[in-house]
Amino acid sequence: MKKLKAEDIWFTYTGEEYILKGAALEAPAGTVTALAGPTGCGKSTLLLILAGLLKPQRGRITINGADLADILEEDRSIVGIVFQNPDDQLFNPTVYDEIAYAPRTLGLPEQEVRKMVLETAERLGITHLLDKPPYRLSMGQKRLVALASVLVYQPEILLLDEPSTFLDKYGLGKVEEIIEEYKKTNKIIIMATHNLDMVLGHADNICILQDGKTTCRPREKATIEWITQTSLPIPSYMLKLIKTCSGRGA
Ligand SMILES: Nc1ncnc2c1ncn2[C@@H]1O[C@H](COP(=O)(O)OP(=O)(O)O)[C@@H](O)[C@H]1O
Ligand SMILES: [Mg+2]
């Protein structure tokens, strides 16, 4: 895996109004790309397109130069997406079955499936939930189960839609561990997020989606003002710091 590339992506749900009007991004292996932008600008839509679940009316998505659609036909497990709303993802009777679902569809023997499920659950700290029905869980627990159900097959490209919502410090720590692990193992993460800490802490590239188009910058060339210009809330402690610094003429 070298690079995921989206070029000149146009998309409309209705056939009239275009949500994406020439969006583009490049995500090289071993990097995290943060996708920011106002609510309703099309972040989730773009992630669904990158996952091959929606087809753009125009534009091209390639992995190492080859069409994503052709690659997915050969190997569906190369891309995994964790939806914005965990309720859209979870449909099995128990958490165990939820995590086992993808390896079972890949036709792996049950003994191997069990090993994968237990390892993944352990990694995300959700072993105690394995026998529970997903609908009984809290949103934060559902988020971790949804992540586990994708992580279990180790997709080369992991798409995370607002991964920090619903999570407490522990859950967030687990997600952050996974993100860093992905980087180290030369895989690709693209995450839509409104969380400035996630952007500053983990993103190598930042893309802002607005009016259907993306503007991307490497982290080192992105100022806080640029990152937060459209939608990202600045935490109050940071605002205080900025005010204090500017008060000192810094
Ligand atoms: N299935 C759908 N059918 C019609 N319109 C949709 C559908 N899903 C999303 N939209 C619309 O597309 C726009 C972009 O939505 P979305 O990609 O969810 O934005 P974001 O994730 O940035 O908040 C919104 O105006 C939303 O209402
Ligand atoms: Mg969204």
pLDDT per position as a tens digit, 2-49: 899 999 999 999 998 999 999 999 999 999 999 998 889 999 999 999
User: Which residues, 6+ apart, have CB-to-CB distance to 158 below 8 Å?
Assistant: 80, 81, 82, 150, 151, 178, 182, 187, 188, 189, 190
According to the model, what pLDDT value does residue 95 have? 98
Query: Residue 151 in contact with residue 126, Cβ under 8 Å?
Result: no
Query: Residue 56 in contact with residue 10, Cβ under 8 Å?
Result: yes
Model confidence pLDDT, tens digit, residues 58-114 = 999 999 999 999 999 999 899 999 999 999 999 999 999 999 999 999 899 999 999
Model confidence pLDDT, tens digit, residues 194-218 = 888 888 899 999 999 999 999 999 9
Model confidence pLDDT, tens digit, residues 125-181 = 999 999 999 999 999 999 999 999 999 999 999 999 999 999 999 999 999 999 999
Q: Give all domains of the chain, ordered by start, each with its CATH number.
A: 3-247 (3.40.50.300)
Q: Ligand 1 within 6 A of 212 CB?
A: no
Distance of alpha carbon 44 from alpha carbon 117, whole angstroms: 27
The Å distance, Cα 106 to ligand 1 centre, comes to: 31
CA-proximal residue: ligand 1, atom 2 (nearest) = 13
The Å distance, Cα 122 to ligand 2 centre, comes to: 28
Residue 233 has pLDDT above 80, yes or no: no
Residue 250 has pLDDT above 60, yes or no: no
According to the model, what pLDDT value does residue 113 have? 98
Residue 249 has pLDDT above 80, yes or no: no
Residue 245 has pLDDT above 80, yes or no: no
According to the model, what pLDDT value does residue 248 have? 58
According to the model, what pLDDT value does residue 247 have? 63
According to the model, what pLDDT value does residue 134 have? 96
The Å distance, Cα 85 to ligand 2 centre, comes to: 9
According to the model, what pLDDT value does residue 234 have? 72
| Ligand showing the shortest atom-to-Cα distance for residue 85 | 2
According to the model, what pLDDT value does residue 242 have? 66
Choose the residue to mutate in 9, 35, 45, 82 for probing ligand 1, maximizing ligand atoms within 8 Å of C-beta: 45
According to the model, what pLDDT value does residue 192 have? 96
